Amino acid sequence: MPDRSSSPSATAPAFKTWPRAILLMDMNAFFASVEQRDRPELRHRPVAITNGQQGTCIITCSYEARRQGVHTGMRLKEARQLCADLIQVPARPQRYAAVSTTIMAALHENVSPDMEIFSVDEAFLDISRCQNLLGHPADIAQHAKQVVFEASSLRCSVGVSGDKTTAKYAAKLNKPDGLTVIAPDEARQTLADVPVTELCGISRGIGEFLAARGVHVCSDMARLPIGVLAQRFGNPGRRIWYMAQGEDPDPVHVNVAPPKTIGHGKVVPPDTRQREILLTFLLHMSEKVGERLRRHNMQAREFFIGVRCRQGWLGERCQARLPTDDGRIIYQLCQQVLRHVWQGEGIHQVQVTALDPHSGDQQLQLFEPTPVQQRASNEVMDAINQRYGEFTLAPARLLGRSEMPNVISPAWRPFGHRKTI
């Protein structure tokens, strides 16, 4: 009998490979699932995650709660009217970020290195090149689900198709713990009767623009000239035209771009009019921005500093004398801006953002904005806080900072510049 191991047909797939295969992995009620995994007493019970014990808005909830009508964004008081035995659990962003990092690393190593981390609980994988090794896209999807479970003991839903938009749509069709495959040549027909606003990236505003031109479901899009969208929205408009027809051209973006801004904001007690409270919050945000700049070896010279009242934002752009990564210097700018823009209005939120972060590997200035001693102190403080927890060592004024925990930014990524919460 001939040795088939050396025959080309022995390694060729027994199916027709897809020219492009995209997989979207979506964790099921991720934050709630992590809590139920870590705390067995919460399993099979309705759980609502809030931003701290004082939080009143539900960040996410378990499927047990969802079956009783509870949903993300609902107020806790309203949710308890629907589900009397609802259990409130304060969010643990650091924990969720750590679990996400483990999951993403497992997918990158065991499924495909061509991965775009879309959010803390979602990732696109281009599996086009994996078909000869791992099999049909449906088999790769099942393998990805097993990889996620082995890495985290959590279930996920997976959608597979020939483009990102259709794969993401597929992933939400059979939750939780689902697997939906839409072949590339079936994508257009599958999306035909789907409202365009159900596709990722088509906001209500864009939906209203399309509806005014007779586009309500995806099949309507072919009757609208692509130039209409291109003229109004540019290249994103052209992409939307293709998305609705199952031909989203957007590739999986493997590389994480350096941040264009680095910022932190915080909600303050409603209608705050005490200057000292606002300064404490602004110092808190200044130190967080400074720490992130130092962590990524970046500096910035231009900042936006603002406070939000009922009428909108009060703030302005300002410049440090030289590029800096020192929270003290950023805080001095905050004090100046507050004097300029605030006249005692009730404030609800503060924001500090570095607008032009760039590499800090530059020639030292003759007159450094941060003295050598302060730079050394910052390095020591960062090392201690990294080991023992955020703001273990901090300016004394921050003893009065907000007790509300951090949240995971939509731009969070476990690898590269955006690994922060």
Residue among 122, 208, 276, 291 flagged as catalytic: 122
Question: In 3D, which of 241, 21, 266, 11 has the Cα closest to residue 130?
Answer: 21
Predicted local distance difference test score (pLDDT) of residue 7: 32
The parent domain of residue 203 ranges over: 192-243
Annotate 97-162 with DSSP letters as a single string.
Answer: HHHHHHHHHHHHHHT-S-EEEEETTEEEEE-GGGHHHH-SHHHHHHHHHHHHHHHHS--EEEEEES
Final residue belonging to a domain, choices 93, 111, 140: 93
Q: Give the CATH number of the domain where residue 203 resides.
A: 1.10.150.20
Bridge pairing between strands 347-354 and 58-61: unpaired
The band of 2, judged by pLDDT with boundaries at 50, 70 and 90, is very low
Report pLDDT for 379.
77
Query: Are 393 and 286 in the same domain?
Result: yes
Amino acid identity of 122? Answer: E
Reported as a single tens digit per residue, the pLDDT across 220-270 is: 999 999 999 999 999 999 999 999 999 999 999 998 777 788 898 888 888
Q: For 363-373, how does the pLDDT look when each residue is reduced to its tens digit (9 = 90+)?
A: 455 455 556 66
- The total number of structural domains in the chain stands at 3
Residue 122: active-site member: yes
Convert the pLDDT of each residue in 124-160 to its tens digit: 999 999 999 999 999 999 999 999 999 999 999 999 9
Whether residues 201 and 300 fall in one domain:
no
Same domain flag for 296 and 396: yes
C-alpha–C-alpha distance, residues 224 and 44, integer Å: 48
- On average, the pLDDT of the chain sits at 88
